[in-house]
Amino acid sequence: MRIGALTIEFKVLASLKALVLSNVIEEYRLRIGALTIEFKVLASLKALILMPLPQGEA
């Protein structure tokens, strides 16, 4: 009886842990995505700034 209860408790804890982990991973993924987008924007801005300005022909 005691072992059965422990097994059930363990399963509940495992599923709670899985839920928490999936939420954390999801949030992490979203953050990584936002950072990646931010990095791409910064990189393209930097590329625009560093692009040599066309010399005016005069």
The whole-number pLDDT of residue 57 equals: 59
pLDDT, one tens digit per residue, over 5-58 is 888 888 988 998 988 888 888 888 888 888 898 899 889 989 888 877 677 655
More confident site: 40 or 3: 40
Tokens found for residue 44: 């393209």
- How far, in Å, CA of 18 to CA of 12, rounded? 10
The Cα 50–Cα 7 span in angstroms is 62
pTM for the model: 0.45
